[in-house]
Amino acid sequence: MALGGNPIFNGKNFRGATQAPPVPSYTHGQPQYGQPAWAAQPPMTSDQLQEMYNQPAAGPAETGRMTFDDVIVKTAACLAVLLLGAAVTLFVAPGTANLLMIVGALGGFALGMVNSFKKQPSPALILTYAGLEGLFLGGLTRLLDGMFPGVGLQAVIGTLAVFGVTLALFKSGKVRATPRLFASS
């Protein structure tokens, strides 16, 4: 019997049986030879079942899930650390502000990369990143405010207003994260 046009498959080693013999196995659910039989789990009584079903449902703390409130609180904490870093840079001597801006930019980039590639998020690194970005943004605001007077204060007020309104809308439930919200028209 020829198995196609391949001369290897038509050789003497491939003549005869074309399937491997069955592998010895045991029936699923049965113990292997020489092993003790498995005992069945005793059934629960109706009282035990009712007690189990009467337990309260697991909340976010028990399941490890993050809620919108968790996101809002953590985002607000990061913003507070960022504003603290920006305030430090805004109220120091000009030469020191430039140095802090560079440290914030490079350190923020480095921590951004580290946080991106970590398997588990680290709250300490995330808050440190927010602080370094605050140093950078405070220095940049100070630099731009020196070139264009008044632009720094307007940018800070606008950013805080948008951030606060967005958090308030999500917290109140007036805006919900749905696929329709993120759909582009």
Q: What is the pLDDT of residues 93-121, one digit of tens each?
A: 888 999 999 999 999 999 999 999 998 88
Provide mean pLDDT across the span 23-31. Answer: 62
Q: Which of 129, 137, 143, 130 is nearest to 87 (CA)?
A: 137
pLDDT band at 67 (very low <50, low <70, confident <90, very high): confident
Confirm whether pTM is higher than 0.75.
no
* Identity of residue 171: K
More confident: 9 or 119: 119
Domains identified in the chain, total number: 1
Alpha helices in 54-150 (DSSP H): 60-63, 68-90, 94-117, 123-147
Domain, as residue range, for 162? 67-173
| pLDDT value at 130 more than 70 | yes
Note whether residue 29 is domain-resident. no
Q: List the helix and strand counts (H, then E) for the chain.
A: 7, 0
Note whether residue 80 is domain-resident. yes
Phi, psi values for residue 72, rounded to 5°: -65, -45
Note whether residue 38 is domain-resident. no
| pLDDT value at 8 more than 80 | no
* Averaged pLDDT of the chain: 82
Provide mean pLDDT across the span 38-54. Answer: 82
Note whether residue 77 is domain-resident. yes
Q: What is the pLDDT of residue 167?
A: 82
**Residue given tokens 């703390």 in the structure block:** 61
Note whether residue 169 is domain-resident. yes
pLDDT 10s digits, 146-169: 899 999 889 889 988 998 898 888
Note whether residue 25 is domain-resident. no
Q: What is the pLDDT of residue 68?
A: 75
Q: Please name the residues in contact with 184: beta carbons below 8 A apart, sequence gap of 6 or more.
A: none
Note whether residue 7 is domain-resident. no
Note whether residue 119 is domain-resident. yes
